[in-house]
Copies of this chain bind each other. A is one copy, B any other.
């Protein structure tokens, strides 16, 4: 889609992740790809992510999407502190089987003050998305 290089590496992003606090850490997200404006993040299966009925919990998908957006934004603006989600809108499409989830995140628009992102979440090996998410990141002015 673009020849531009990402402004953060997976190793750098993982380091931020490591500092992201206990809530994020327990999901064990694996950032598989960071390009300029497109990323892929995996939520490895864990029994702790299940809801009643044995499918992956909706809030686990929301956490995955939020994390994916963070990777998209930092892949474009680099290691900036204080970029925060201001809005997230998720459509739950199907109940995900109890396997890994994979989120494909892309940029819709990177502005000076706001970044709008999109993520499609699939199950490992599945063809049909289980969730579709858009979100807005607020980017601090002091850059």
- Chain A positions near chain B (C-beta within 8 angstroms): 16, 19-24, 26, 47-54, 57-60, 62-63, 66, 84-95, 108-109, 111, 113-114, 116, 118, 128-129, 132, 134, 136, 138, 141
Contact = CB atoms under 8 A, between A and B. Distances in A.
A129 B108 contact: yes
A40 B128 CA distance: 23
A19 B52 CA distance: 6
Given A84-B92, A114-B138, 18 more contacts: A16-B52, A20-B51, A21-B51, A21-B54, A22-B47, A24-B57, A58-B66, A62-B88, A84-B95, A86-B91, A88-B88, A91-B108, A109-B129, A109-B132, A113-B141, A118-B132, A134-B134, A136-B136
Contacts of A87: 87, 89-92, 136
25 contacts: A16-B52, A22-B48, A22-B49, A23-B60, A24-B51, A26-B48, A58-B66, A58-B85, A59-B63, A62-B63, A62-B66, A63-B63, A86-B92, A86-B136, A88-B88, A88-B90, A93-B116, A109-B129, A109-B132, A113-B113, A114-B138, A118-B132, A132-B134, A134-B134, A141-B141
Contacts of A54: 21
B21 A57 contact: yes
